[in-house]
A and B are shown apart, each in its own frame.
Chain A
Amino acid sequence: MKVKIKSWIAVASWKWDVPEDEVCGICRVQFDGTCPNCRFPGDDCALLVGKCGHSFHMHCLLDWINTESSRGLCPMCRQKFEYVEQ
C-alpha cells in the first residue's frame, strides 16, 4: 500500500528578521514588542531597517525624523538614514 500526500495545509508564523536580543535604538523595546504608542505588535507597528544596519520601530523613527535636530540622520550612527525597501 502506498500513501501519498494530496494536499498539505501548513501553518507558519512570521517575525521581524532581527537578532533576538536587539532592541529599538530609540525606545529600547524589543522588536517583537511595540513602540510606546502602540498596543499591538506586528504589521500595525512595523520595523524600519536602515541601510546603516540600525533598525527602529517605524513610529519611533518617524517621530525622530520629524524633529528639527535630527536633520535626517540615524540617531545611532549619525549617518544619513535610508531604509531598506520592503
Chain B
Amino acid sequence: MSEVDYRKSPASSQQQQGKKRKQSPSASSQHEGPKYRPQHNQQQQQQVQQKQQQQQQAAELEPLPQESRRPQTISELFPAVPSSNSSRPNTPPSSTTTSSSTSKRPRASIEPTAEIYKPRYTAALSVPSTMLNFPDQNKVTIDLTDSPPNSHAAGSVKKMSTPKALRVPFQPGPHSAARKLVVKNLRTTAKGSPEVYYEQTWKSLDAALTAIFSGERISTSLEELYRGTENLCRADKSAPTYETLKARMEGYVGRKLKDELNERAGRGDDEVVKAVEAAWTKWCSQLNMIRSIFFYLDRSYLLSAPNLQTIWETGLSLFRKHISSDDRIGPRFLRGIFSLFEKDRQSQGAVEMSLLRPCIRMLSNLNIYTSDFEPKFISISRDYFSRFAEQEAHTKNLAGYIAECDHQLDRESFRCDRFQLDLSTKRELVSVLEEQMVKKQIPVLTDTESVGALLKETDIKSLTSLYSLLDRVGDAGTLLKPAWENYITVHGTSIIQDQDTEMVSHLLEFKSSLDKVWAGPFKKNDDLAYSLRESFSTFINARNPKMQHANNSKPAEMIAKYVDLLLRSGVKALTGNTTGGDRNEAENTNVGDEDAELAIQLENVLDLFRFIHGKDVFEAFYKKDLARRLLMGRSASADAERSMLTKLKTECGSGFTHNLEGMFKDMELSKETMNGFKSSKAGTDKSNGVDLNVHILSMSAWPTYPDVPISLPEDLAEYLETFKEFYIEKHKGKKLMWRHALAHCVLKANFPKGNKELVVSAFQAVVLLLFNSIEPTQSLSYTSIMEASGLPDREVNRTLQSLACGKYRVLVKSPKGKDVNKTDTFTLNNSFQDSKFRIKINQIQLKETKEENKETHERVAQDRQYETQAAIIRIMKSRKTIKHVELIQQTIEQTKNRGVLDVSEIKQNIEKYVSPSLPASPPSDMYWNLCANEDVI
C-alpha cells in the first residue's frame, strides 16, 4: 500500500467537503453504513462481503448481552453528539506530508474530554455517549480526517470516504479562516518521521488497552484512538497491530482476568458460575471497547483476511482458551451450571433466572453450547430423571405418578424457556423425559391393577393423561390393551357372578362407564374398541361354574327379565323399586318424554344383548315374559312392544322373531274371534253376566305350559264349552284345549266393610267361589278345598298362601302363620278393607317359580342339543367327508347365534350321528363320514 499524498491543498478539499456537507447538513445524525472498504478487485470484494455477511449472521445469532452486538456503523460506534457539543474529533496527521506534525497534533486545539472513562462492566456494553466527549464545536477548525478527494496515491485509499457520521456540518464564516490557520500551524510544526508517529500512536493505543484492562479511564479520546488505528492500518501496519493487540488481550485474559476469577470463585460450584459469568460480562464490555477503538483494523484488515479472526472472535477464543475451556475452570463451571439446574428441578424453580440465563447465553456466544454444554447436560438430565422416575414410580400411586409425569414435562419445558435453552435442547429434554419417565416406566404405567383402579374410579383426568403419555412413546392402544381387557373381564365377571337382580343395571352402568372412558380419555382407539367388545363378550358368555344347567345363560336370562321390567312398567321401573311388587295398572300417564326415555333404555339393553352368544336363552325367557304381558294385559305400551320386536328382528333376523310375531298375531285373531262370539246368539244367551274373553294360542309360537286340572264352577264351564263349540265350528280340523293356569278374572266381592273388585287368577277365583256355598262364618278345610277345586296339592298350597298370607288377605287362615299346612282351615275375611276398589291379587301368576325357571333352562339346553345335531347333519350332508376339527369349528360357527354347546358335548353329538372313517388315526386328523343309517337322520 502506497503512502497517501495529502499535498493537495487542504483548503480546496475542505471546500469540496464543505459543499458536500451542505447537501446533507444533518448527516451527522444519519445512520449510514460506513464505507471503509479499501478498493479491491471484484473477487476480494466478494470475499469481504461474504465475511461481513457471516459476521452479521453470527452477530444476529449470538444473543450478546444487551447491546453488545457488533456496531454496524460508525455512528453506532460513536453515537452522534448533540450539536452544542459536537466538534471535530482529534485527528492524526496525514502520513506523508511534512505539514503534519506528530509532535504538535491538532490535539492541542481540542479540549480534553471532561469525563473520565469509567468502565461499566455490569451495564450495557455499548459505548455510552457520555464517554465520548468531543471538544466544543467552536474550537474545531479543520477536518483532517477527510481523505483528499483527488489524492493521486493508492486507489484503495482514494475511494474511501469518511463515514458521514463523522462529518461535521460545514460552518461558513470566520471559522473557515480559523481552520486554515490551524492547518498552516500544523504544517509548520509537523516534523519527524512517520515511524515516530506510529510508535506514538501505538503507545496511546497501548495505554488505552492498559486503561481498559485495569478499569481506568482512557486518557486519549476514543475518536483519536480510532483514527490512530485507521492511520496505522493505512500505513500497512495492520498485521503487527493485530499481533500486538492479540498478545495484549491474551496477556490480560490469561492472567489478570483469570486471576480475578480464581480469586472470586470459592469452593462452591455456583460460585464458579457466578465468577465466570462476571468475568465474561466484564470481558465482553472490555472487548467491545477494544473493538470500537480498533474498529478500522477489524473492518479493513481482519474481515478480509481469510485466516484471521476478527477482534471479537479473537476475544472469544482467548476467553475460551484461558477460562471457559480451562482444564480447571471449565469443568467446574459446567458442573456448577448442572448443579444449578438440578437445584432448580428439585426446588421447583428456585434458581433465579438472572443467574443462569447469562451463562447459557455465554455458552452459545462462546460457541461451546452445542459442543461442551448440551451433550453433557442431556446426559446428566437423563441420569437425573432416570433416578427421579424410579423413585416416583415406586412411591406414588398411578394417578400420582401420571400427574408427576405431566408436571415434569410442563416444568422442564418451562425451565428451558426460562433459561433460554436452545430449542434443540428442549426437544431433547422432552424426549429424555418421555424416555425415562414414560417409556422406561411402561410396566408401572400399564400395570393391570393400577390401571384397573383408575378405570374403576373412572378417573377421567388421569386416564386422559395416561393415554397421551403412552401415545408419546408408542401405541397407547396396544400398551393399554392388557390392563383394559383385564379390567373388563375381571370386573364384568364379578358382576355376572353376583347373580343378583341388579345384574343388568350393573352391566349397563359398567358398559356406559367403559364407553365413556373409551370415547374420552382413550380417544376412540380402534384396538381398544375391539378389545372392549371382545372382553365384554368373553365375560358375559363365560361358563359360570355356579350354574349347573345351560351354562353361560344367566346374563341372557337377566337381560330378558330386565326388558320385561321395562316393558311392563316403563321407565318408572328404573326410578322406583325394581323388584316384583304390586304395581298399578299400566296407567296412561306415559308422556312423550317417557316414551323417548324408554326407547333409550331399550336401546341400551339391546347393546348388552348383542354381546350374548346364547340368544336362545334370551329368546326363551323373553317369550315367556312376553306371553305373560300379553295374556295378563300387563304391557305398559303397545308401541314399545312393537318397537322392541322390530329391534330384535333387525338384530337376530326374522327366524328369531317369527314366534314372537306369531304371538301378537294370535292376540289379534283372538280379538276377532271374540267379537264374532259375542255377537252370536250362544255368546249372549249363556253368559250369565260374565264378560268372557278367550286368548287362543297357536301352541308352537307360545311357551309350553303345564296342563293343570281344575274344576270350574258349572255355569262358567258351560259357557266356556259353548265358546269351544263356536270355535271348532269356525275352524274345522282344529281342536281346543283350555290353559286355565293362564286364565285370570275379575271378581265382585261384597265384604261387610265395602264392595271390592278382585283381580285374581283362575285358581284363586275357583277357591274363592267355593266360599259362596257356605255361611260367612263357616270355614273350609285345606283338604276340602283341594277336593272341590280339583287342583293339585302344590297349586292349592300356593293359591291359599296368596289369599291368606299375602299382602291382601281375603281369607283368614287358622291357625295363623306364614306357611299353609294341610291341617289348616280357612274362612272369608269379613273385616277385609282397603282404600282401593280394585285389588290385584294375581301377582302369584306373574311370578316365575323356581321350577319354571329351571324348566326353561333345561328346555333351552335340550333345544341346543337339537340345534347342534341339526347343524352337524347339515354340515355332513353338504360335505360328506370332513376333518374332525373342521366339523367342530363349523358346528360352533353355525350354532353361535343361538347358543353353543361345550366342545365335549358337540363331540358326543357328532359320535351319535356320524361314524369315523379312519378309526385308527389321531383325533385331529380324523375324518367323519355321514352315517349310513338314514333313520337317524
Contact = CB atoms under 8 A, between A and B. Distances in A.
Interface of A: 1-18, 32, 39-43, 47, 49, 84-86
A11 B628 CA distance: 11
A17 B699 contact: no
A48 B397 CA distance: 77
A13 B736 contact: yes
A28 B655 CA distance: 24
Nearest to A84: B732
Q: Is the interface of B mostly helix, strand, loop or mixed?
A: mixed
A49 B732 CA distance: 10
B695 A10 contact: yes
B177 interface: no
Interface of B: 631, 633, 655, 658-659, 662, 689-702, 713, 716, 720, 723-724, 727-728, 731-740, 742-752, 757-758, 762, 765, 768-769, 771-772, 776, 828, 830
A6 B690 contact: yes
Contact of B731 (A1, A32, A86): A86
A16 B758 CA distance: 36
B745 A8 contact: yes
B742 A11 contact: yes
B738 A10 contact: yes
27 contacts: A1-B752, A1-B828, A2-B749, A3-B758, A3-B769, A4-B748, A4-B749, A5-B713, A5-B746, A6-B691, A6-B757, A7-B692, A8-B743, A8-B745, A10-B694, A12-B694, A12-B697, A12-B738, A13-B698, A14-B737, A17-B734, A40-B659, A41-B700, A42-B700, A42-B701, A86-B731, A86-B732
Given A1-B750, A1-B771, A5-B690, A13 B734 contact: no
Contacts of A3: 747-749, 758, 768-769, 771-772
Contacts of A42: 662, 698-701
Contacts of B751: 1
A32 B691 CA distance: 32
Contact of A14 (B697, B744, B752, B757): B697
Contacts of B631: 9, 11
| A11, A12, A40: most-surrounded residue (chain B CB, <10 A) | A11
Contacts of B768: 3
A-B pairs with lowest CB-CB distance, top 4: A7-B691, A11-B742, A42-B698, A86-B732
Given A13-B736, A15-B737, A40 B662 contact: yes
B743 A11 contact: yes
Given A8-B716, A10-B738, A11-B742, 5 more contacts: A1-B749, A6-B691, A8-B745, A9-B631, A15-B734
B748 A84 contact: no
Contacts of A84: 732-733
B699 A49 contact: no
A10 B691 CA distance: 11
Nearest to A42: B698
A17 B349 CA distance: 95
Given A1-B752, A3-B748, A9 B743 contact: yes
Given A11-B739, A13-B737, A5 B765 contact: yes
A10 B720 contact: yes
A60 to B, nearest CB: 15
A32 B889 CA distance: 33
Contacts of B748: 3-6
B720 A14 contact: no
Most buried by A among B692, B728, B752: B692
A13 B707 CA distance: 11
Nearest to B732: A86
A40 B751 CA distance: 49
A15 B698 CA distance: 8
Contact of A32 (B696, B699, B738, B744): B699
Contacts of B728: 17
A14 B701 CA distance: 11
Contacts of A8: 690-693, 716, 743, 745, 762, 765
Nearest to A85: B732
B696 A12 contact: yes
Given A2-B772, A5-B690, A14 B738 contact: no
Contacts of B659: 40
B700 A32 contact: yes
Nearest to B688: A5
A39 B830 CA distance: 55
A30 to B, nearest CB: 12
A51 to B, nearest CB: 12
Nearest to A55: B733
Given A12-B696, A13-B699, A42-B698, A6 B745 contact: yes
Contacts of A14: 696-699, 727, 731, 734-737
B694 A40 contact: no
A16 B750 contact: no
A47 to B, nearest CB: 6
A3 B742 CA distance: 21
Contact of B738 (A2, A11, A18): A11
B702 A13 contact: yes
Nearest to A49: B733
Given A2-B750, A10-B738, A40 B701 contact: yes
A15 B699 contact: yes
Given A5-B747, A42-B662, A13 B697 contact: yes
A50 B733 CA distance: 11
Nearest to A6: B746
Contacts of A39: 655, 658
- In this complex, the member of A6, A12, A41, A42 whose beta carbon has the largest number of chain B beta carbons within 10 angstroms is A12
